[in-house]
């Protein structure tokens, strides 16, 4: 179980995320929606430890992660898509994925798996790497240096690296943004497959409402950094607060949020 308690951050005078208390249970995909600038990415950054909270706490499986670095939170089971700046740009796609798989397996070793299982894991490194490349449809680009990849392939690689970590919690921030019509279904199929694992907790920030409707078990809505709605998709999408805050159907006639980047 992932939980945020009164989680918030101020940038100067601006409260980007305000006292968000929420629990996310394994086996559930929660979509996080809200207008541009609502605080969705910032909320993820607070959970993953990319930025330091001004208020509140983050708990995972009974452990208070609040004081921990982003790297320590990753080791605790929080999976946030890699920043491409963390990669080795001159190494190939395959080499980068292999390094991520290897780091994860060595982490498992330190967590107390025995020698033989580690040896078997190593024998399995190449196979696991190939399976991940295949899962994101990047077998063809496996030998290309990461620095040379077009944008859509970079995003797919981010997802492959996140999968390599085998985290308990997956944080997907607009995973198909900027992808072509051929590429997006590859990623959505992966998320669909992940959903079948009842031990995984998935959080998905997504502007495309058709994707949200299809994948989400639950929707939470952020608006001006505050949690303004939380519930099952049909109820949340129909609620007046969402119609006003997200879809822009307010009396003031504000513009709807644009979909995607």
Residue ranges in contact with Mg ion by CB under 5 A: 41
Which runs of E-coded beta strand occur in 35-194? Answer: 55-60, 63-64, 78-80, 169-173
Pick one of Mg ion, ligand ATP, none as the site partner of residue 36 (Cβ within 5 to 8 A by kind): ligand ATP
Q: How far is the CB of 41 from Mg ion (least distance, A)?
A: 3
CA distance 187 to 50: 24
Q: How far is the CB of 73 from ligand ATP (least distance, A)?
A: 18
Binding site for ligand ATP (CB under 6 A): 11, 16, 34, 36-42
Q: How far is the CB of 202 from ligand ATP (least distance, A)?
A: 17
Pick one of ligand ATP, Mg ion, none as the site partner of residue 37 (Cβ within 5 to 8 A by kind): ligand ATP
Q: How far is the CB of 222 from ligand ATP (least distance, A)?
A: 6
Q: Closer to ligand ATP at the Cβ: 11 or 88?
A: 11
Q: Closer to Mg ion at the Cβ: 174 or 183?
A: 174
Q: Closer to ligand ATP at the Cβ: 153 or 173?
A: 173
Pick one of Mg ion, ligand ATP, none as the site partner of residue 42 (Cβ within 5 to 8 A by kind): ligand ATP
R_g of the chain, CA atoms, integer Å = 19
189 touches 159 (CB < 8 A): no
Which runs of E-coded beta strand occur in the chain? Answer: 2-11, 14-24, 29-33, 55-60, 63-64, 78-80, 169-173, 201-205, 218-223, 226-231
Buried b (16+ CB within 10 A) or exposed e, 128-146: bbeebbebbbbeebbeeeb
């Amino acid at each position: 179980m992932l939980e945020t308690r009164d989680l918030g951050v101020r940038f100067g005078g601006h409260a980007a995320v305000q006292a968000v208390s929420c629990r996310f249970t394994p086996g559930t995909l929660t979509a996080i929606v809200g207008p541009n600038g609502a605080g969705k990415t910032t909320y993820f950054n607070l959970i993953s430890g990319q930025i330091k909270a001004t208020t509140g706490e983050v708990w995972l499986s009974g452990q208070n992660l609040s004081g921990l670095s982003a790297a320590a939170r990753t080791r605790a089971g929080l999976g946030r898509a890699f920043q491409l700046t963390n990669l080795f740009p001159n190494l190939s796609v395959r080499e980068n994925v292999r390094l991520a798989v290897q780091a994860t397996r060595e982490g498992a070793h330190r967590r107390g798996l025995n020698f033989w299982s580690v040896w078997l894991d190593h024998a399995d490194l190449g196979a696991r790497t190939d399976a991940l490349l295949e899962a994101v449809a990047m077998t063809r680009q496996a030998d290309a240096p990461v620095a040379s990849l077009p944008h859509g392939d970079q995003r797919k690689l981010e997802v492959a690296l996140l999968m390599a970590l085998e985290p308990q919690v997956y944080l997907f921030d607009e995973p198909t943004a900027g992808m072509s019509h051929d590429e997006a279904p590859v990623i959505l199929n992966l998320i669909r497959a992940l959903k079948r694992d009842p031990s995984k907790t998935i959080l998905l920030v997504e502007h495309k409402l058709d994707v949200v409707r299809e994948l989400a078990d639950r929707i939470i809505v952020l608006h001006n950094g505050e949690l303004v709605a939380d519930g099952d998709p049909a109820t949340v999408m129909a609620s007046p607060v969402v119609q006003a805050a997200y879809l822009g159907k307010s009396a003031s006639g504000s513009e709807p949020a644009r979909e995607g980047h």
